[in-house]
Amino acid sequence: MAIASTLAPLFRQSVGFDRFNDFFESALHTEAAHCYPPHNVERYGDDHYRIAVAAAGLSADDLDLQIERGVLTICGGKRESDGGVTYLHQGIAHGAFRLVFHLADHIEVQGATFENGLLIVFLLRVVPDEAKPRRIPINRPGDGPDRRSINRH
């Protein structure tokens, strides 16, 4: 039985990732295998974000990060062979992966670290002054320039 649900109300206030609703909607309708490797998208304060990717068994050399036109791509995969190991049980996935994140306007990648099997990508929302809201003062008669004194071209 399929359950029709939407997460739209949860993301009306989200800042930073403008396509989160689409991302989670598609995640609800795909298999769990498409969620490899496990990862978190975290928000700290109003303007700081980070993506934490669990990359067990990989090294920093096995990972690649690229950003192009507001799309952050994280790729990884083991570059060395297992040396003839026969697994009796393989619970730690080693397969190649590709994660794609569509970043909202004004989101900048600040850097990345890899420690203890976690890749952490730091993001910052930097809104230029011209895009920030500003208050427009309302003049009263006698306070400032009269509407009739402004030349219209």
- The model's pLDDT over 34-61, given as tens digits with 9 standing for 90+, comes to 578 899 999 988 889 999 999 888 889 9
Q: Where are the domains of the chain?
A: 8-131
Sheet holding 107-115, edge to edge: 39-44, 48-54, 118-125, 107-115
Could you tell me how many residues make up the chain? 153
CATH domain 8-131 topology: Immunoglobulin-like (2.60.40)
Decide: pTM greater than 0.75: no
Question: What is the per-residue pLDDT for 67?
Answer: 92
* SS3 at position 33: helix
